[in-house]
Structure 1
Amino acid sequence: MTAHRPSRQRRVKTRGPVWLFDLDNTLHHASHAVFPAINRGMTQYIMDRLNVDVDEANRLRVGYTVRYGATLLGLVRHHGVDPADFLREVHTFADLPSMLRAERGLTRMLRALPGRKIVLTNAPTLYARTVLAELGIAKLFERVIAIEDMRAGNHWRAKPDAPMLRHAMRRAHVRLEDAILVEDTRGHLKSYRRLGIRTVWIVGHLPVAKTSSGGLSIRKPGAGRPHYVDRTVRSLRALTLGLRGGAFKGA
């Protein structure tokens, strides 16, 4: 009688986590200098190309970001703006290294996270790869999925577009149930949690909101955590420490 052999499927090891990291205000403190510069650049670009005043330019910039996930998508859809020209103009800086701020020990902390690591950003490829290189962490990520990679033909897409993410994950051979999104934008976390992705809201780099009395409100991790957020952290260090404490079983 031939001995029964376990099937090949039974011998397959459990898949590890796949970390999907946003870039700005997640892997570095973009609110320090980069975001203000990008916002000024976008506003000026809109003023120059659409011949509008600063108030209207700001309204369009913010409105399109809220509506489409990225200002670019609204400008392309409603005003025929050249995407490559826009991305180049607003993400080019005279001295980017001096503008970057990140956590100490960033490389060590990212290396401590088990599993694959991917950058998923609405920023353009050249800017994203330049930032990662300046931070010294480019080699820790197997790929960068930037806004140019989110297109479907001539149709531009961005986070939090759900079909875009499904397509991007298929191309990267990532199961949605294996993915953990680390992101500062709650709207993106909310949309993608519906797909079965686990979510981490990182809040340490976000601008501190002013209270009605003129004081500053301090964000406390875990305070008022939305139901679509699995974990709230102030820093990547807190994320790695949390894993040691048992957060995200299987990660």
Structure 2
Amino acid sequence: MTKPKSHPEASDFTTIRDWVFDLDNTLYPHQVDLFSQVDRNMTAYVAELLSLPEQDARRVQKDYYRDHGTTLQGLMINHDIDPNDFLEKAHAIDYSVLEPNPVLGAAIKALPGRKFIFTNGSVAHAQKTAEALGILDHFDDIFDIVAAGFTPKPEADAYARFLDRSGVDTGHAAMFEDLPRNLHQPKALGMKTVLIVPPNLEYGLAQTFERLDDQTGHIDYVTEDLTGFVRTVLGYFDEPKMNYR
């Protein structure tokens, strides 16, 4: 099996016209650990809903996440919760831990074609996150879990809904993600796939299925540095539209 590459090749990206980015642990570095706040809020939600101690609630939460793609999906299936209430409480977090990334913003802005955020979170969460990073204005659309009918990645229906709304041509599109399982469907659809990993693959408390393993046939590229990767890609175009200074 061919291993993922780390350095983008011109032949893979010069025909790309739609650029699709996951949000959490993708558009900001994994080590920023913003999502840990969401994770704690989800555990607290499960604990209150099911009257469980924190440790047991966390186990239920992670089981739902593993089995259903998101904790929310598991709670909707098994407990018929109000998804909007869950999303509001899960994303009641402090975004000030994020620092603006003008270099990434300039790189995304300069990419030829359209740019999308495709997240299992909410539009509000994506907007606040991207705004804190200083990159919100560089995206053409945000496709969230509500737009997906609460069906999360990695389910095929989530991608089908995204493609139906966006009109993305998968033969000329690239997807950037931090979860390996969320790249199976994009690869099957013909997209170039880029996995964002933490430095030295130091995943911390991440679950096994969240980590890069030997099953990499659906992953074209792996990088620790999204900004550097996108900047390299830009160098393959005849007239880069940016100035890093």
What TM-score bracket applies, with the shorter chain setting the length? Answer: 0.7 to 0.9
Q: CA RMSD in A?
A: 2.7
Among 201, 219, 226, the alignment partner of 1:236 is 226
Query: Could you list the runs of 5+ residues in structure 2 that have no partner in the other structure?
Result: 1-13, 205-210, 238-245
SS of residue paired to 2:38: helix
CA shift at 1:29, angstroms? 2.8
The answer as to 2:189 corresponding to 1:195 is yes
Q: Match of 1:116, as an amino acid?
A: R
1:158-173 mapped onto 2 (5 Å cutoff): 158-173=152-167
- Equivalent residue, structure 2, for 1:112: 110
Among 130, 133, 137, the alignment partner of 1:132 is 130
Identify which of structures 1 and 2 has the higher relative contact order when contacts are C-alpha pairs closer than 8 Å and 6+ apart.
Answer: 2
Q: Match of 1:73, as an amino acid?
A: Q
- Equivalent residue, structure 1, for 2:98: 100
Identity %: 31
TM-score normalised by L of structure 1: 0.78
- Equivalent residue, structure 2, for 1:20: 20
Alpha carbons 2:151, 2:157 under 8 Å: kept: no
**Which structure has the larger Rg?**
1
Count of aligned positions? 218
**In structure 2, how many angstroms separate the alpha carbons of the residues matched to 1:189 and 1:37?**
25
Deviations 1:75-120 (A, max 9, x none): 0110111111111111012x32x22146561212212322210000
Alpha carbons 2:30, 2:197 under 8 Å: kept: no
CA shift at 1:166, angstroms? 1.7
TM-score normalised by L of structure 2: 0.80
CA shift at 1:235, angstroms? 1.2
- Equivalent residue, structure 2, for 1:150: 148
Q: Match of 1:185, as an amino acid?
A: L
Alpha carbons 2:102, 2:134 under 8 Å: kept: no
- Equivalent residue, structure 1, for 2:80: 80
Of Structure 1 and Structure 2, which has the larger fraction of its residues in helix? 2
Alpha carbons 1:21, 1:27 under 8 Å: kept: yes
Change (3 A) 1:195 1:123: same
- Equivalent residue, structure 1, for 2:60: 60
